[in-house]
Structure 1
Amino acid sequence: MQENASSHGPATKVLIVDDHPIIREGLSHLLLQEQLDVCCAAASAEEALAAMACGPDMAIVDLSLQSDSGLDLIKTLRQHHPNLAILVLSMHDETLFAERALRAGANGYLMKLEATEHIMSAIREVLAGNIYLSVEMHARLARALTVPRSIPAGSVASLSEREFEVLHLIGLGFSTREIAMKLNRSIKTIEAHQANIKEKLDISSGKELMRFAIQCLEQ
């Protein structure tokens, strides 16, 4: 771990990846107050990978980018930069996405609703080489190791990151058109994702898919 400015060494360099300018600016302001060097900010996976040239010690990544999956970006970053500390900062419910983010290569997961109060604690834990999750999520993962799931883990695990995101939005009640707008994709693309999900999960109808998606939310 790099020393920060408070220990009279070089400041820890942070890359922020979020497609909302207000989030990038607000987070940059907070980190600068904590004497962390925001070396780059990116709105897409392509920009983030290019920004790695600045040599960040840490990346703070949103999962929902305009044209990319944050989970896919995390996998790429972990593959090519194994020593990079990665913290996910997302609007998505951690009970659905935290475990998947950790499997992709993230070191911690923080929901944006909790960011103001916990962001610096999460950053310190991740930079120290630890895993950061909320107390509730730690307990949930511990229970998952001992309590059988009603949904076979392998079925959902077979989905791509984008398909998993679509399944999540279906469970939240969004229509195909609304999902297309949220993910900045065409309706035909979302319909193709839904067809792939049904095939992988052996689901025959849209109603059955909706029931399955809601059941996933309740796990």
Structure 2
Amino acid sequence: MNQKKKTSPAKATKILLVDDHPMMREGLRQIIGNEIDLAVCGEAENAFQALELVKSEKPDLVLADITLPDKNGLELLKDLQAQHPKLPVLVISMHDEALYAERVLRAGGRGYIMKHEGGKKIMQAIRHVLSGQIFVSEKMSARILELFSGHGTQAASSPIENLTDREFEVFRLIGEGLSTKEIAANMHVSAKTVEVHRMNIKTKLGLKTAAELIRYTVRWVESQSTSGL
């Protein structure tokens, strides 16, 4: 029986891994290493390293997490779009796609898959994006197609969709029980900046007090973790 030969590194499709967890990067490296025509060209644990490696390694695809230690993955996506508009990015995240999939696509990402999916599904997503298509789960596809076809309603279906990406991140972290100081540390901004975001969130959601905001965010986060779309 003839064995398939691994494509030479010079000809293989190059993939850059961006995740702050070494074990996750190692797992992805092994999955990709089993493919004869793909190769990992570099690994970054934060957004700064990712941008530097994209310049030096010129990958064909970036696999990136949403949660990074120096910058939100959505902001990294926007930076990559501005600097390398033709570079496809597939987001692999622990966060439920109901929270982030649409925002990822709006930021220029080409797909979203959750980390708990098996290697076969992850490779399917990689192949899908490399072929020029957008990858999301089956349950997200109808909603995404409606959104990008222009047949959806012009008004946001929820006031939460009116939040900017930064405001949305603060909103989510409040719902997870983090204090202003903890959110500031998590997002690498000042506590004053977080307070400004909190005020904007309350205004956009029609909430008057901090207690109302906390109740709203907690209920929303819980509903997203226990239900589908």
- Quickly name the TM-score band, shorter chain normalised: 0.7 to 0.9
CA deviation string 1:107-164 (max 9, x = no partner) = 0000111143410000000000001000011134467787879x94584344332321
Question: 2:202 is matched by which residue type in structure 1?
Answer: K
Q: Which residue of 2 aligns with 1:168?
A: 172
Change (3 A) 1:186 1:26: farther
Report what 1:14 is aligned to: 15
Q: What is the aligned partner in structure 1 of residue 107 from structure 2? A: 104
1:47-105: CA deviation from partner (whole Å, max 9, x where unpaired)? 11100121100000101101201001101111221221110001111012000000000
The alpha-carbon distance between structure 1 residues 135 and 6, as it changes in their structure 2 partners (threshold 3 A), is farther
Q: 1:187 to 1:20 in 2, by over 3 A?
A: farther
> Which residue of structure 2 aligns with residue 49 of structure 1?
51
* Aligned twin of 1:26: 27
Give the alignment's Cα RMSD to 1 decimal.
3.2
Residue type of the alignment partner of 1:67: D
Given that 1:64 and 1:183 are in contact with CA atoms closer than 8 Å, whether structure 2 keeps it comes out as no
Task: State whether residues 60 and 88 of structure 2, in contact with CA within 8 Å, keep that contact through their aligned partners in structure 1.
Answer: yes
- What are the within-5 Å matches in structure 2 for residues 1-219 of structure 1? 10-35=11-36, 36-53=38-55, 54-141=57-144, 152-153=156-157, 155-171=159-175, 173-176=176-179, 179=183, 183=187, 190-213=194-217, 214-215=219-220, 217=223
Unaligned segments of structure 2, at least 5 residues: 1-5
**Structure 1 residues 143 and 127, CA, compared in 2 at 3 Å: closer, same or farther?**
closer
Amino acid paired to 1:96: L
Distance 2:174 2:8 in 1: 48
1:210 and 1:141, CA in 2 relative to 1: closer, same or farther beyond 3 A? farther
Contact 1:69 1:161 in 2 (8 A): no
Secondary structure of the residue aligned to 1:114 is coil
SS in 2 for 1:37: strand
Contact 2:48 2:70 survives alignment (8 Å): no
User: 1:167 Cα deviation (Å)?
Assistant: 1.1
Say whether the 8 Å CA contact 2:72–2:187 is kept in structure 1: no
- SS state at 2:113 partner: strand
Secondary structure of 2:116 counterpart = helix
Q: Percent identity?
A: 43
Aligned residue-pair number: 214
Distance in 1 between residues matched to 2:90 and 2:166, nearest whole Å: 19
Amino acid at match of 2:160: V
Residue type of the alignment partner of 1:198: K
In 2, Cα distance between the equivalents of 1:140 and 1:47? 34
Q: Quick one: structure 1 residues 163 and 60, their matched pair in 2 at CA, closer, same or farther if it must change by over 3 Å? A: same
